[in-house]
Amino acid sequence: MSAKTTSNIVVLLFMFLTASSSYIHEGNHEGNSKHYKPCKRLVLFFHNILYNGKNAANATSAIVGAPQWGNLTILTSQFHFGDLVVFDDPITLDNNLHSSPVGRARGQYIYDAKNTFSTWLGFSFVLNSTDYHGSINFIGANPYLVNFRYISVVGGTGDFFMHRGIAPIMTDAIEDQVYFRLRVDIKFYECW
């Protein structure tokens, strides 16, 4: 047998083993009825009040970057494309803005689509209450016209050290382009 024939056989054998092993992998097995349950779950609300040039005392977020045609007090037209907003929002256990905060949501969102309303989120929940201490870190796309969206929980500190999971989020309330409230249903699937 020639060296070329031997290498072809090795390549084919490798491809067969790779394909067969990925087919029988538990996650791809047909009829797999295994459902994962969260090891910890929290439902929190965060309240965002965007600075509009007149509400500096109440604002919890501000536009810090805008395209040339935009400005820093009003979201741009065209689906707000190009606006970068940073925030330091109160987190509550219920949907009342005036409830006692259990922490702060700190991070940024970037309006990243030219043809629909969508943002990319990167933020942390910094919790400091009698029940929880530490941070939970989130990252992902937020097509906010969709009723329920999912964002990745990529880690945490303190009571949430090395926690990972998923957080279905829902816009619970919106008022003009100044206020919105998100309901965040955090489901941890890795808890240390």
Q: What is the pLDDT of residues 129-177, one digit of tens each?
A: 889 999 999 999 988 888 899 999 999 999 999 999 999 999 999 888 7
Q: What is the pLDDT of residues 164-180, one digit of tens each?
A: 999 999 999 988 878 99
- Which amino acid type is present at position 60? T
122, exposed or middle or buried, with CB in 10 Å at 0-12, 13-18, 19+? middle
Q: What is the pLDDT of residues 91-128, one digit of tens each?
A: 999 999 999 999 999 999 998 888 888 889 999 999 99
- The whole model's pTM is what? 0.77
